[in-house]
């Protein structure tokens, strides 16, 4: 039987957001409050992690290892999941220059939840796609034999969890929009949507690598591309974890206007992008756009 933390949960709430920046263009904005789906593993983190955690437990693993940057929501979620399930966790963090420095709030939360942190050089971290380099990195981190959850939690198992998010939006929206880090949420979301609906991803990292990554994930999970999806590039505001003053002001204003806390690294960039796209006529009048709120500050 599933651990209680891994059992199916009710669909996350849908909240209409009355906002003249959208309504003035004939666009209806709906918020999918996926940040409320689990008290400690919000939104896409629970949807992506739950299938992987279930597989780890079924295979008899008692340790997880995963990867992320210094401000990774995924690392925090994996650490919290390990605490909830009684699994030991190891986080391989990008950037060996961080070793020996005081932990930022995000990594301190990981450590408080029992995650052992290993700081890898950026070159070693980038090379982890190579199986031999990955094995050496895991050995260096003392994580050989642990269940490996990929960076961002994105793999074929994760896509199955995120497809349920798409199914929850059947008959609700024309466009389902989500911020993207590693692309797994968008890849699964698109697969779960109904014909006539489309998924829109807003990358929060610069680099233009996500299209190929999403196609690869869908091929691994489904044998080829699935669903109608596209990316809105150039809304990363300088790169991951960059929150310039204009974005900070926008997020604070949106939070005040709509009465919920806006997470800055992913959600603020998503909402900014949808506002800008609406104002430039990217969505025809009569379109319902759903912004998937994937996390909390």
Residues involved in catalysis: 72
Distance CA 104, CA 112 (A): 12
User: How far, rounded to the nearest angstrom, does the alpha carbon of residue 42 sit from its chain's CA centroid?
Assistant: 10
User: How far, rounded to the nearest angstrom, does the alpha carbon of residue 219 sit from its chain's CA centroid?
Assistant: 19
Nearest alpha-carbon partner for 106 in 219, 209, 241, 232: 241
Mapped onto helix, strand or coil, the DSSP state of residue 16 is strand
Distance CA 252, CA 237 (A): 16
Question: Taking the CA atoms of the chain, what radius of gyration do you get in angstroms?
Answer: 19
Nearest alpha-carbon partner for 65 in 139, 131, 155: 139
């Amino acid at each position: 039987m599933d651990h209680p933390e891994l059992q199916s949960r009710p669909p996350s709430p849908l909240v209409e957001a009355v906002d003249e920046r959208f309504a003035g263009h004939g666009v209806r904005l709906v918020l999918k409050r996926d940040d409320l789906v689990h008290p400690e593993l919000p939104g896409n983190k629970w949807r992506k992690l739950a299938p992987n955690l279930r597989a780890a437990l079924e295979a008899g693993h008692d340790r997880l290892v995963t990867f992320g940057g210094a401000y990774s929501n995924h690392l925090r979620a994996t650490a919290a999941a390990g605490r909830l399930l009684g699994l030991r966790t190891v986080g391989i963090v990008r950037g060996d220059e961080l070793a020996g420095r005081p932990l930022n709030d995000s990594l301190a939360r990981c450590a408080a939840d029992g995650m052992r942190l290993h700081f890898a050089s950026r070159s070693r971290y980038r090379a982890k796609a190579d199986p031999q380099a990955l094995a050496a990195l895991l050995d260096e981190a003392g994580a050989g034999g642990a269940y490996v959850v990929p960076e961002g939690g994105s793999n074929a198992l994760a896509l199955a969890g995120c497809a349920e998010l798409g199914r929850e939006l059947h008959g609700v929206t024309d466009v389902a929009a989500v911020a993207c880090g590693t692309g797994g949420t968008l890849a699964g979301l698109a697969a779960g949507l109904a014909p006539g609906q489309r998924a829109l991803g807003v990358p929060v990292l610069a680099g233009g690598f996500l299209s190929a990554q999403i196609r690869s994930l869908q091929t691994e999970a489904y044998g080829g591309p699935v669903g109608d999806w596209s990316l809105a590039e150039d809304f990363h505001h300088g790169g991951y974890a960059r929150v310039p003053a204009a974005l900070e002001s926008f997020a604070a204003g949106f939070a005040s206007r709509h009465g919920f806390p806006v997470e800055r690294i992913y959600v603020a960039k998503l909402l900014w992008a949808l506002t800008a796209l609406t104002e430039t006529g990217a969505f025809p009048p009569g379109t319902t756009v759903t912004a998937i709120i994937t996390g909390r500050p």
